[in-house]
Amino acid sequence: MQHRIHEILIVSSLYDAFILEEDGRLTELIFTEYQDMNLSNAPRMTRVSTAKHALQKLNREKYDLVITMSRLPDMHPFEFGRLVKEQHPEIPIILLASHQREYNYLISQNKNADTSVDKIFFWTGDSSLFTAIIKFIEDRKNAERDILHGGVRVLIVVEDSPQFYSVFLPMIYRETIKHVYKLMKREYTESLRLLRMRSRPKIMLASNYEEAAAYFAKYQNNILAVISDVRYPRDGAVDDQAGINFLRMVQSKVPDLPIVLQSKESENAEIAKEVNAYFLDKNSPELVTNLREFVVKHCGFGELLFSSQDKLEICRVNDLRSLEAALAVVPAQSIDYHARRNHFSNWLAVRGYFEIADILRSRHARDFEDLEALRTLLLDLVRSQRKTQHQGEIIYFDAETYDPEFKFVRFGRGSLGGKGRGLAFINTYMRDFGWYRNFKQIIIDIPHTAVLGTNLYDRFLEANNIDAGSFVDATEEDINRIFLAGVFDSETVENIKSYLAYHTTPLAVRSSSLLEDSLFQPFAGIYRTYMIPNNESKSSGRVASVLNAVKLVYASTFYPDARAYMAATGNRPEDEKMAVVIQNLIGARHEEYFYPTASGLIQSHNFYPIGVMQREEGVVSMALGLGRTVMGGSDALRFSPKYPMVLPQFYNTQSVLRNSQKSFFTLPLDGSGVESVESETLLNVKTAWQHGLAHLIASYYSRDDGRFYDYAVEDGRPIITFKPLLNSTKWKITEVFTQLIDECRLAMGGDLEIEFAIEMEDLTTKPRLFILQIRPQHTVKSSNDIHLDDFALEKVMFKSSLALGNGIQESIQDIIYVKWQKFSPQLTHQIAREIGLLNRKFDNDHAYLLIGPGRWGTSDPTLGIPIGWEQISHARSLVELGLPDFDIDPSFGNHFFQNITALEIGYFKVSVHEPDDYFDWEWLDRLEPLEETEYLRHIHLKRPITILIDGKKGIGLALKPKR
């Protein structure tokens, strides 16, 4: 823990106290000084008027520093100091003298003053002296730890005259603290601001040769500069050459170190040249000014100034970003000039970049035969520092200091929302643990992300008089119109404009509500996501597109689907708040379309393990193009990362041809403005082959011999299998998936889901895996022990070898099912509308069982019935039924599925191909319907059916009502 001065005991006569206080103003002056220098809390001062009283105080109370005046009524100050040292050796004691004559008189009375007090200063009425004394003591206490273990730099000052160090020590402290504060203001997080303040260089004041030499020997690798007098004690006697000899020793060991020789004798200026030192005349009225200029210029506090050979200024540098830009273009001789004087090392060190400062300190400019090699080293170090310095940080956006290397920024206060929290977590987790660096063959990252906090949502609603309670009967179109008519405040508009100046790629604008992505109510897919080409010719158009997308995300909070889901989870729309995530869309441009090589979902719990697969090993669903293919429940490749060659959906040649991905989603770039996810363009996979992607993701089917090849063959048909990616021993991407599951499950304390995208340029460059989202995965931990064969078949309505949920339901008396004789994939939208109409006749106290062919909630109407939450909000169990000519594999990765598992809605897949599955159609069709539509039958039973699910085994059944 750093040593800090909190309590100071001041010992002075009543007269000196009056002089010190200036009618009670000393404490105020110290407080003001601390405020002006932007230091933390000023210490508290306690005054006593006698030495005896002071000793009593020290015995009763804790003090960090004692300051005594030279005139005490009851004791000589050196005697008082000796007693304090005897009784409290850990407490430093400072003596204040009024002027040189008083100092000479005191020293003449006691030659061993150094053993009685720690230092003598001259008090001239400047309150900054007290700040310098406090910092001098703190630096001395903290030096060894901060310098040797923390990398902090040190400025060695050698001066034995209190008259001089009492004047220029406050100046040095004021300058160093002032410049550190300027650096602090450019930082983005409180932790980094604190780090910058703690990286302030230490000032080590020595009063003799031995003390100075000891400081130099101890801190040689961390010294910014040395400032030395000429004449001071050595071996117990004043040595007229002590300073010159000391600087010669310093210069011989560290030739490039900036050094200053101060002297009253002007002839010493020539000697200063001999030791390559700057000379300052102590008689000059400009002494303090000249010393300040040296500290700022040569210790790295000011701007780095690059000039041409004819002294013309090229540019000034005040941060890493501008330094990188300058290093790329300035002449080599300008780089050489700064390198030979340690300017780069010092400039970086005082800003807290100790690691690269140390590297540069150890590599002298003279070691480089080619100055371009020095330029390359500097650029590599600065680029690496820029990339990593704020990794894992959540940074508030500041237009003046924003660096596009920052991965995660936020606008406004309030919550980040569910998606924002997940991204912030994985961003920080990757920085703190760094496990992903073990995979050198692949780049793992998150996209550039900006989050609009929930307070901007509150401000938008309030500023535009939008009442959350006024949308009960409104349509989506009505709600959108109201929100699009709203306006953002000028600060938000300007911030978005500044941010977009650095981000000109397509963007995804995603919802991130308070309730989203929680374990028991994920709200997956309930709110809207919008894709933006972000390619308008004018910045105003790009800003308008982003802000309109944000407004529409806000609007989706009040859509009928969202309200229905909230009702199902026991929440009210009025309690919800919306943050918004703006992400750089991952992918590449292919003609007029933008999409990634692959996208998908990693789930740490596999609901449907087959063969050697284990539930806890997880499962990956992956597809070409944007993520809607997977999240919407369309055809995607599904595999265990432990067994990537085991592909259940590809069990023979015909199944590969039938079940492989046929189309993919892209963002069209020929338009502009806001595109909802539903507006993404669906392309045939043949388009991807025209774009040259087959060799990255496909196997080739030979019509000649009916076999698949991992390389292109004559007349071969590309089929998406991702074999070039999954089989690669070079990239080991399945190992990355497994490691992601293990690491993130441990970090989150349970099962999880990760949305990702992969971008590949070719087979020679590293794939880039981007984590787009991370959230908890709802799984069943308890179990009811069920055996499907324990029940007589005549009592069973249906049984399933693939069921999700857990427990027993004995309250459902209503069944809505699709007439299988009239079902066709071309009719699924009409069927969904009819289900929605029947659903309105139920409430939370009266639920029903819903049965239909294919996948529920799919975005692909050819694979099932594309219902929304508003249409099935009162269903308590769902059955996906296989028909002889329409038996679709379930999709466990889509948003709809995540919501039904989290809400513990029972789920059953009944397949015609599973020998253990069964469905009694004859019994159901014999029942008299309460209501019948063109495609549906609604049955009301006098007694409830019994639904049983064994969550551990993943099986379940429904029993007919008891007679």
Looking up residue 63, the CATH number of its domain turns out to be 3.40.50.2300
Q: Are residues 555 and 662 in the same domain?
A: no
For residues 68 and 47, what is the distance between their CA atoms, to the nearest angstrom?
10
d(CA 958, CA 798) in angstroms, rounded, equals 5
- Is 278 inside any structural domain? no
pLDDT at 104: 83
Q: Are residues 806 and 834 in the same domain?
A: yes
Alpha-carbon span 838 to 275, nearest angstrom: 95
The predicted structure's pLDDT at residue 181: 75
How far are the Cα atoms of 92, 446, 805 from residue 551, in angstroms, in the given order?
62, 25, 37
Contacts of 71 by beta carbon, 8 Å cutoff, 6+ apart? 12, 13, 15, 16, 77
Please give the pLDDT value at position 111: 61
Q: For all residues of the chain together, what is the average pLDDT?
A: 86
Residues 794 and 770 in one domain: no
d(CA 348, CA 338) in angstroms, rounded, equals 12
Length of the chain: 963
Which residue bears the tokens 């936020």? 410
Residues facing 667 on adjacent strands:
594
Alpha helix positions (H), 220-319: 242-253, 268-274, 287-298
Is the alpha carbon torsion for 714, 717, 723, 724 positive or negative? positive
- Residue 478 domain-assigned (yes or no): yes
**Segments in the chain below pLDDT 50:** 1, 23-24, 519
* 447, 770 contact by CB (below 8 A): yes
Please indicate, yes or no, if residue 889 is contained in any of the structural domains. yes
Name residues whose C-beta falls within 8 Å of residue 305's C-beta, 6 or more positions apart in sequence.
313, 316, 317
Residues 801 and 893 reside in one and the same domain: yes
Sign of CA dihedral 309, 315, 319, 321: negative
Question: Residues 907-933, buried b or exposed e (16+ Cβ, 10 A)?
Answer: bbbbbeeeeebbbbeeebeeeeeeeeb
Alpha helices by DSSP H, 473-522: 476-484, 490-500
Residues 812 and 929 in one domain: yes
Last residue of a domain, one of 134, 161, 185: 134
Site of tokens 């769902």: 878
User: What is the Cα–Cα distance from 123 to 184, expressed in whole angstroms?
Assistant: 31
CATH number at residue 688: 3.30.470.20
Q: Which helix (H) or strand (E) holds 600?
A: strand 598-603
Residue type, 752: L
Q: Which of 724, 743, 776 is the endpoint of a domain?
A: 776
Q: Does a structural domain hold residue 277?
A: no
Residue 576 CB neighbour total at 10 angstroms: 22
Distances (CA, A) of 662 to 216, 622, 825: 72, 13, 17
**Do 499 and 606 share a domain, yes or no?**
no
Beta-carbon count within 10 A of 934 CB = 10
Parallel, antiparallel or unpaired: strands 507-513 and 529-532? antiparallel
Bridge partners (DSSP) of residue 745 are none
735 CB neighbour count, 10 Å cutoff = 17
Q: How far is Cα of residue 93 from the mean position of the Cα atoms in its chain? A: 46
- Tell me what pLDDT residue 777 has: 81
d(CA 93, CA 85): 8
Q: Report yes or no on 540 lying in a domain.
A: yes
The verdict on pTM exceeding 0.85 is no
Domain presence at residue 633: yes
Measure the CA–CA gap between 213 and 344, rounded to whole angstroms: 25
Together in a domain, 52 and 81: yes
| Cβ–Cβ < 8 Å for 442, 731 | yes
The pair of structure tokens assigned to 475 is: 């349509």
Indicate if 793 and 760 belong to the same structural domain. Answer: no
**383: amino acid identity, one letter:** R
Tell me the DSSP string of 154-180: EEEEE---HHHHHHHHHHHHHHHHHHH
CA nearest to 674, candidates 860, 475, 536, 772 = 536
Q: Are residues 414 and 325 in the same domain?
A: no
Residue 897: closest CA among 861, 927, 859: 859
Q: What is the pLDDT of residues 88-97, one digit of tens each?
A: 999 999 999 8
Q: Are 608 and 596 in contact (CB under 8 A)?
A: no
Report how far residue 779's alpha carbon sits from residue 774's, in angstroms, rounded to the nearest whole number.
16
Radius of gyration of the chain (CA): 37
Cα dihedral 403, 404, 408, 410 sign = positive
CA-to-CA distance for 814 and 961, rounded, in angstroms? 11
In a domain, 695, yes or no: yes
pLDDT score recorded for residue 672: 62
Q: Are residues 631 and 673 in the same domain?
A: yes
Q: Are residues 491 and 383 in the same domain?
A: no
Q: Is residue 705 part of a domain?
A: yes
As a whole number of angstroms, the distance between CA 345 and CA 377 comes to 13
Listed in order, strand segments (DSSP E) in 785-871 are 796-800, 802-804, 807-809, 814-818, 848-853, 855-856, 864-865
Residue 780, token pair as written in the block: 């069943």
Name 366's Cβ contacts closer than 8 Å, sequence gap at least 6: 340
Please tell me the distance from the alpha carbon of residue 471 to that of residue 560, in angstroms, as a whole number: 9
List the 449-452 sheet strands across, edge first: 395-396, 408-411, 449-452, 578-584, 507-513, 529-532, 675-676
pLDDT of residue 519: 47
Number of domains the chain is built from:
5
Q: 907 with 942, same domain? A: yes
| Domain boundary residue, one of 776, 810, 844 | 776
741 Cβ partners below 8 Å, 6+ apart?
Answer: 602, 604, 617, 618, 641, 752
Per the CB < 8 A criterion, the answer to whether 33 and 45 are in contact is no
Start-to-end C-alpha separation, the chain: 76
- Give the domain extent around 819: 788-959
Q: List the CATH number of the domain containing 925.
A: 3.50.30
Residue type, 200: R
**Cα 109 to Cα 882: distance, rounded to the nearest angstrom:** 106
Pairing of strands 875-881, 906-910: parallel
